[in-house]
Chains A and B, each alone.
Chain A
Amino acid sequence: MKRLFLLSAVMMLCTSVWAGYICRGSVFDAQGEPLIGATVSVPGTAVATAADIDGNFALSVPDNTKELLISYVGYKNKTIDAAKEVGRVILEPESTVLQDVVVSQSVAKTRKTPVAVSTVDAPFIEAKLGGQEFPEVLKTTPGVWATKDGGGYGDAKINMRGFKSANVAQLVNGIPVNDMEWGGVYWSNWSGLSDVTSSMQTQRGLGAAIISTPSVGGTLNITTKSLDAKKGGTLFYGMGNDGMNHIGFSASTGLMKNGWAVTVMGSRKWGNGYIQGTKFDAFTWFVNVSKRINDKHQLSLTAFGSPQDHWQRNSNNGLTVEGWQNVKNYMNGESQYRYNPAFGYRSNGQAYVSNQNHFHKPQISLNHIWQIDYKSSLSTAVYLSIANGYGNSGQGRTSDYRSQWYGANNGVLTDTWRCADGTFDYAGIEEMNAASTTGSNMVMAHSINNHTWVGLVSTYKNEILPNMNLLVGLDVRYYAGLHQTKINDLFNGQYYIDDSSRKSVLATNNSAAADPNWQFQKLGVGDIVYRDYTGHVAQEGIYAQLEHSCLEDNKLTYFVAGSLNLNSDWLVNRFYYDKEHQRSETQNFLAGNAKAGVNYNIDRHNNVFLNAGYISRAPFMSAAFLSREVSNAVNPDAINEKCVSAEIGYEFHSPKFTAQVNGYFTRWMDQTMVKTNTMQDGTRYMMNMSGVASRHMGVEVAATYKPFSWLEFSGMFSYGDWVNDSNTTGYFYNSQSQPLANLSTGAIASGIMAEDHLWAKLNTKGRKVGGSAQSTGSLSMTVKPLKGWRIGVDWVASARNYSDYNITGNNLTPGQELQLGEPWRIPWGNQLDLNASYTFDFGGIRATLYGNINNLCNYNYIMDAYTSATVDGTWQNAYRIFYSFGRTYSLRLKLTF
């Protein structure tokens, strides 16, 4: 009996000691990398465990446990409230790194910055990207529409809330990279960034950046690895469909005791391309050297670039629905949607595509941080971008010969140089040129677009009152873009005569044209044809922001911000003008923006936000001048584009469930639209359509549910209502910016917008904005079934995708109204993507094997299409159509040491 009592007592004691629960969670660094072996313990006890290879932990703790202590060498200890599910714990590096305000000022913070934001980190990109284009990793982000366009390497396009890339700001480490002349971004120049990205943040709407950026639709904010990089390195090799290979390395010293940190990275990606004749070869390099000089000063030099060559399927080479069916017999059993109308062979048997692209746009920035005292700092970034490269540009003696370089015209396969097997007969062009007694009729040229861009962004930050920060800054940029078209291949001819361009050169502008023989000069490889000009853009700006967090636990954060900038554009045209006349007038525009927002954290889970703003943006150079490639004529009607926007949102955050709902309204006004055409006498005329407007409103929802540490669901839905919203009038000008009264005679009107000034009307009101899916949605599941394993499924759907349209000079007839046709509503499409990874110990090195299958169902659906501006769109009259890629795959092994 005594023994039985003793046994019972011991059991009760054990039960009382071990009665408790299991705490589960995961430990990561700021880049989202799991901190393997991080210690999780109950303070004051011996109860402890270590995070596994995925950063996960499960610790059995007594019932009365209130806190958990998380520690890891090189990182600050963190104490968190104990719970059954503690979620994701992020540890900060132990060394105090000074905050670079130039970089951080444009990064939105959850439950603080009142903007609609989605962030993907490096592990997310690694898991989902596979063989896709970099922007496609954002296809599960609300409001984002990313397609592969023609399908060549890096030729992807990304629209946000229906706005094209020229209206979506792209920042790399707080520095703007949108082209200074036309605002757009060629992703082929930035594709390699995916390997060094620490995080990519999508801010829809006005965004958090306070420098002058074209954030009408939103902002893509890429932060690369730098001083925060962990000591160590990686080696990886990947392979995929159509001969894709990807090899690379990265190494970082971490922040050393002497205050230095160096990170280097290099990679090469090459392959044949999924689309016929789209081979590519791209290198990426990245260097960051940082020095923490002392507690007050820190320097960081970052340089990266991605030199690449790729063959393309030009966006004009999309066919009609029927046209794609007709090329099936050319593909030897392959999908017809992989056909490239411009792919063919030269007479020496070498494969060739007329659309090729070769560019390198490295960017170098030097950031200095000066922590003046405990409440004020000065962060300054000086940057330089030197771009060199070209795209191919087929030239011809006449417009008909020029057209003959096209693989397709208005969606119809061109047949002048079409071989029986569907390939393009480049050998035939060589034969024609060789037989010509007047030199080559068709030659290939490099369309050179080099630039030099220098800039400075400097921000002074001062905590003028507790939790009230004032930021003021300077944003200065100068850009010079060199644009030349230079013959690189005579295609077997003896020489080339550029009379089709030179005949438009007026002797009053260029004295060379006074000699009638000049236009018939025999030209060879390296000679310039058609265009030779430099576009100059200078911008001087200032900005300021006041941000204040107040109430208990800083529940309320509000900000007001504004910027003002002076933009100056001028041209130096060396083809149509001689030295005396080559510099154009300078077009000056004063622009700026003002925005304000407020975020209120209702409790530890719920917060609401509101923002509103007004942007006045200087017109791009393409609008400041009527036809900048061939004329210095300024656009006398050019005015700033304006945008007014407001947004409201609600967020819920808990370890298991997060959700965001937001609604927005944006009206984009005075979009400049300049059209050109040729008069009967061969000289060019231009027309400027002022007051073009559109309205973009919608609702976006995103949610993540993580019921267990090994299972996560996420999804998003966005519904946009984006319509054109203007009936406008445009006026006709000649190549000297004089108002035209008659297109046949070239007679000058009595004044600008006078009664006899030729006009045309464009009615777009109520017509859908084209080029984007106005409804997108996705459902994702990620499961970690076994230690080291991760399997993910993404289902992505798009609907209400409206065809794009081009309004050309031909569409606008003097004295007439053009009623824009309703674009074609492309039926909905969807695809299923799989991703998986297995992380294991490989001789003391962490190894991860990644696998991706995109479009598992091999479901081809139309993503891009055009219809005529003058008629309502249908599938029968749609052209420039591109279907989605079919099933593709990639496999990658990464070693982390």
Chain B
Amino acid sequence: MKISVKNIFFALGATAVMASCGENAWNDHLDGFEPGVNYNNPIEGEFTMSAADYNAVASNSTNKSLAEAAGVDKALKAVGTNGKFSAQVTGKEYLPAFLASSSAPILSLRKAQR
């Protein structure tokens, strides 16, 4: 009995000593994950715009302000109707506000947080 108790305490102690892991140890499971890398660099990705997305771009209030300032508010409205960007209203200029908004298609947060 005494031996078994000693063994149990020894095993528990050894487990505790050996048990400490680095906080990123599990991330080794992720193929391509590199600890210490600055992931702040932009990531390239593909994204297909749906008709609803074009509507959301056209109705985005930041875009509306941008278009109003540039005098292309009708062209912005046309993006929603036509389902495509134009020379006056380019994706480069008008996509960021949409992607940053809760209308972006990946997730709508407004309903969850309101």
Contacts and interface: CB of A to CB of B under 8 A. Distances in A.
Interface of A: 314-316, 321-323, 325-326, 335-337, 393-395, 398-400, 402-403, 405-406, 409-410, 447, 485, 530, 676-680, 682, 743-744, 783, 785-786, 791, 793, 806, 808-811, 813-814, 816, 827-829, 832, 834, 856-862, 866, 868, 870, 875-877, 879-880, 883, 886
A875 B105 contact: no
Interface in B1-54: 4-5, 8-9, 12, 15-16, 19-21, 23-27, 29-33, 35-40, 43, 45, 50-53
Nearest to B80: A680
A408 to B, nearest CB: 9
B53 to A, nearest CB: 7
A676 B30 CA distance: 35
A809 B55 CA distance: 13
Contact of A410 (B58, B106, B110): B106
Q: Which of B8, B23, B110 has the most CB of A within 10 A?
A: B23
Of listed B25, B26, B61, residue having the most chain A CB within 10 A: B26
A393 B113 CA distance: 6
Contacts of B55: 679-680, 743-744
B101 A410 contact: no
B81 A816 contact: no
10 contacts: A316-B109, A399-B110, A400-B101, A810-B108, A813-B50, A814-B51, A816-B50, A832-B19, A857-B19, A879-B107
B104 interface: yes
A868 B106 CA distance: 6
B97 interface: yes
B39 A860 contact: no
B26 to A, nearest CB: 4
8 residue pairs, one from A and one from B, having the closest CB atoms: A322-B39, A827-B29, A857-B19, A785-B5, A861-B26, A813-B50, A810-B105, A398-B61
A410 B60 CA distance: 18
A497 to B, nearest CB: 14
B36 to A, nearest CB: 8
Contacts of B102: 399, 402-403, 409
B6 to A, nearest CB: 9
Contacts of B97: 400
B114 A810 contact: no
Given A316-B113, A886-B23, A808 B37 contact: no
Nearest to B111: A676
A399 B102 CA distance: 7
Contacts of B24: 325, 860
B70 interface: no
B60 to A, nearest CB: 8
B14 to A, nearest CB: 12
Contacts, number: 154
Interface of B: 4-5, 8-9, 12, 15-16, 19-21, 23-27, 29-33, 35-40, 43, 45, 50-53, 55-56, 58-62, 80-81, 97, 100-114
A857 B109 contact: no
A820 to B, nearest CB: 14
Given A326-B40, A857-B20, A860-B23, A806 B62 contact: no
B71 to A, nearest CB: 21
B113 A399 contact: no
A602 B16 CA distance: 44
A406 B109 contact: yes
Contact of B27 (A321, A403, A677, A880): A321
Contacts of A866: 107
A323 B39 contact: yes
A403 B33 contact: no
B15 A316 contact: no
Contacts of B112: 315-316
B101 A808 contact: no
Contacts of A321: 27, 30, 33
B8 to A, nearest CB: 6
A808 B105 contact: yes
Given A335-B23, A400-B61, A875 B33 contact: yes
Contacts of B31: 875
A406 B60 CA distance: 18
Contact of A791 (B8, B35, B101, B111): B8
Contacts of A809: 52, 108
B79 to A, nearest CB: 11
A806 B19 contact: no
B109 to A, nearest CB: 5
* Max chain A Cβ within 10 angstroms of own Cβ: one of B19, B20, B32, B111: B19
Contacts of A314: 113
Given A856-B15, A859-B26, A886-B23, A806 B61 contact: no
Q: Which of A393, A399, A744 counts the most chain B CB atoms within 10 A?
A: A399
A114 B26 CA distance: 40
Given A783-B8, A786-B5, A829-B26, A406 B52 contact: no
A88 to B, nearest CB: 21
B81 A485 contact: no
Contacts of B80: 680, 744
Contacts of A406: 109, 113
Contacts of A403: 100-102, 109-110
A838 to B, nearest CB: 14
Given A744-B81, A870-B105, A876 B110 contact: no
Nearest to A334: B23
A810 B61 contact: no
A337 B21 contact: no
